[in-house]
Amino acid sequence: MGIVLGPNRYGKAEVRLVRVARHADRHEIKDLNVSVSLAGDLAGTHLTGDNSAVLPTDTQKNTVYALAHRYGVGEIEEFALLLARHFVDSRPPITHARVGIDEYAWRRLGGHSFQRCGAEVRTAVAHHGAGGAHVVSGLRDLVLLNTTGSEFRGFAVDGYTTLPETRDRILATAVTARWRHARADGDWAQSHAEARRHLVAAFTGTHSLSLQQTLYAMGSRVLEHRPELCEVRLALPNRHHFAVDLTPFGMANEGEVFFAADRPYGLIEGTVRRDGAPDPGPAWE
């Protein structure tokens, strides 16, 4: 049996771009981390080192900066689509482009002064290729915590089970959420703000019997309110907060003193989708 080249792609990862728009009275800032991956007729470089179809990753980096200058940077979904289309449309051997962008948020302190806010990152991935364009928006490192309103009972028990049931625990997680758009256009800013708002509202508003239940509540609430979206994928680490046993010291710890553990952690992953959603194609890759 022969040995063959399978799926492959290449590009420049983590191009750190800060774009300033200098208005007369105040400046605007966009702080992005852009990663490009191109695919197409690239067997030559793999098999023989023929690079004639290879647009250097250095050129891809230059292109990110040049297009940011020429067109400005609006919503990251739009800029990702612009870049993806540029590479496919301008380079015949390139038949597919994936552009992923992370956006870091800054809070305004003055006309030209800013404070970086939070660990939360807004994300977007755009694909452009033979099957058209696909956009997945999202966020990560949104850390949420409820001090009560979370139970975990009635679970399966086997010979290795020692966990007691609880009717009141801390529930904390760092949300990674991605949601797929049915079409590659729309009001990206509003869509993101609203999807995020519904995720948070579902987390805080759900009396949780399991983190799985909270996950489904988060995903389904987004789909119920945002018709432009057709699928939500969530990864929710269960950041365990263990009530410290203070009985050796004559104290009753009634949900007041907790040890925030690092590892191990529970990890709940799930998809919520609209029945009859269009085929995702490469959207999640």
Give the interface segment with its own copies, choosing from 76-84, 124-132, 146-154, 185-193 (CB under 8 A).
146-154
Q: Which of 30, 86, 128, 240 is catalytic?
A: 240
Helix (H), strand (E) at residue 84: helix 76-90
Taking CB under 8 A as the criterion, the residue among 127, 195, 238, 283 binding its own copies is 238
Residues 18-57 that bind its own copies (CB under 8 A): 18-22, 27, 29, 31, 35, 37, 42, 45-57
Q: Phi, psi at residue 53, to the nearest 5°?
A: -95, 0
Contact status: 273 vs its own copies (CB under 8 A): yes
The structure tokens listed for 69 are 């200058």
CA distances from 152 to 26, 82, 161, 221, 269 (A): 51, 46, 14, 22, 18
Q: Are 179 and 232 in contact (CB under 8 A)?
A: yes
Residues 175-194 that bind its own copies (CB under 8 A): none
Contact status: 131 vs its own copies (CB under 8 A): no
Give the interface segment with its own copies, choosing from 7-15, 74-82, 126-134, 185-193 (CB under 8 A).
7-15
Tell me the three state secondary structure of residue 67: helix
- Residue in 170, 171, 225, 173 with CA at minimum distance from that of residue 196: 225
CB of 144 to its own copies, least distance (A): 6
Nearer to its own copies, 86 or 128 (CB): 86
Q: Which residues are catalytic?
A: 12, 57, 240
